[in-house]
Amino acid sequence: MAFMYESKGKKYTLYTRDVKLKGGKTQTIYFFSARKPKSGRPTDKPDGYTVKVNKRTGLPFLKKK
């Protein structure tokens, strides 16, 4: 089940994607999107994180507790 969040009248879905870093390590990133992104899959909110909203842009983001 995908985690959804509403901010300023827009509905955002939380997505995850694995990215490869320059050193060769793979890291999982989480991001919100109002539309379906080119890559990434819908996901639930990870444990230990809360959702905050950027005051200037109104975009949601994850923050560690």
Alpha-carbon distance of 11 to 25, in angstroms, equals 32
The domain limits of the chain are 4-64
Read off the tokens for 16.
Answer: 């995850």
Alpha helices in 1-65 (DSSP H): none
Residue 8: predicted pLDDT = 85
Each of the 65 residues of the chain gets a pLDDT tens digit; together they read: 799 999 889 999 999 999 999 999 999 999 999 999 999 999 999 999 999 999 999 999 999 99
Tell which residue, 38, 41, 12, 37, has the closest CA to residue 28. 41
pTM of the model as a whole: 0.90
- pLDDT score at 39: 94
Residue 6, pLDDT score: 94
Amino acid present at 47: D
